Amino acid sequence: MSQHSAAVALVNRLKFKHLALLVALDDARNLHQAADAINVAQPSASRMLGDIEEAFGFLLFERNARGMTPTPLGVVTLAYARRALAELTRFAEDLDVKRRGGHGQLTVGAIMGAAPDLLAMAVAALKTESPLLNVRILGET
């Protein structure tokens, strides 16, 4: 199998739940605690880890009586899993803000002498509701 097709096969097999398990295992160093952290049964987590290690073609953790220790390649893989999940979380949060309409640009033209207090209160209320909205006021006399 070429390196390219091996990479494609890996991408097709890995899921974000797998990455979540790896991060939980890195944090807990215990399969049962990691399974609890991602809300799966311990046997499922064990199968998932086996699938992940099979997909990579190497062990990510050394198992011992005191728990689990990442292998040298496991350390590299765990760092990637942590970065990928953090990026996905940022993306999901940003997308949620955009979905709710809390972003963008609004330009308001106003005669400043007419009702400056009213305009200030309106902008303050608008920024409370949509803090990422950029408001520009063009004041004329």
Q: Where in the chain is the domain with CATH 1.10.10.10?
A: 3-98
Three-state SS letters, 70-103: ECHHHHHHHHHHHHHHHHHHHHHHHHHHHHCCCE
H or E element, residue 61: strand 61-64
Please give the DSSP secondary-structure letter assigned to residue 110: E
Question: pLDDT tens across 40-92, in order?
Answer: 999 999 999 999 999 999 999 999 988 999 999 999 999 999 999 999 999 99
In this prediction, residue 138 carries a pLDDT of 84
Question: How far is Cα 36 from Cα 45, in angstroms, rounded to an integer?
Answer: 9
In this prediction, residue 10 carries a pLDDT of 78
In this prediction, residue 57 carries a pLDDT of 92
Question: pLDDT tens across 80-119, in order?
Answer: 999 999 999 999 988 887 777 766 788 888 777 777 788 8
**What residues are paired with 63 via a beta bridge?**
68
In this prediction, residue 141 carries a pLDDT of 64
Tell which residue, 36, 32, 40, 39, has the closest CA to residue 67.
32
Amino acid type, 76: V
Q: How confident is the model at residue 8 (pLDDT cuts 50, 70, 90)?
A: confident
Quick one: tokens of 38? 């991602």
CATH number for the domain running over 3-98: 1.10.10.10
Quick one: tokens of 139? 């004041």
Provide mean pLDDT across the span 35-42. Answer: 97
Per-residue burial over 115-133, b if 16 or more Cβ lie within 10 Å, else e, is eeeebeeebeeeeeebeee
